[in-house]
Amino acid sequence: MTGERDNEQVIELLTRFKPVLQALADGDCSQNDLSRLEAVVPFPIVVRGLVEAVNLKFIMVSTEILPLEPKVPLSEADREYIEFRFRGMTNGQICKEPEWNYERLNAQRKRVFNALGAISDYQVVVWEARRRQRLEQL
């Protein structure tokens, strides 16, 4: 039943919050809009919505805003952080993983943001969704 409710929330997110999703992808979402969204939609659902929006080409992201390739090669820890975010994991969930704590999480976040040119975890998710989409097309 939870999966069905999650799907309903993703559909609602795609229809009601398209401008906010686009702003998140562009790194141009106001704190006010983000707070309103996060008050009604949990982080994992927003992540699923962003992934679906990218896959369906419901939102488009300029490569000038978020480049296709990282500025520097990604380390294994970078890839792990990106995977955690792509799966919709919260900070608390990540810190329960072996060898992860808030200090490491914040250091890794900073490194990944710099490598991808991202300014939020939502942009990290969009970057990874685009990367996976390109790989599927090969």
Has residue 4 got a pLDDT over 80? no
Could you tell me how far CA 58 lies from the centroid of its own chain?
15
- Residue 21 falls inside a structural domain: yes
Q: Residues 52-65: what's their mean pLDDT?
A: 88
Domain that holds residue 24: 2-55
Q: The pTM is what?
A: 0.89
- Residue 127 falls inside a structural domain: yes
- Residue 30 falls inside a structural domain: yes
Query: Does residue 131 share a domain with residue 85?
Result: yes
φ, ψ for residue 22, nearest 5 deg: -65, -45
Report the distance separating Cα 121 and Cα 110, nearest Å: 10
The CATH number of residue 130's host domain is: 1.10.10
Handedness of CA 41, 43, 48, 53 (dihedral sign): positive
Residue-by-residue DSSP string for 105-129: HHHHHHHHHHHHT-SSHHHHHHHHH
118 within 8 A of 66, measured Cβ to Cβ: yes
Express each pLDDT in 22-38 by its tens digit. Answer: 999 998 888 888 888 88
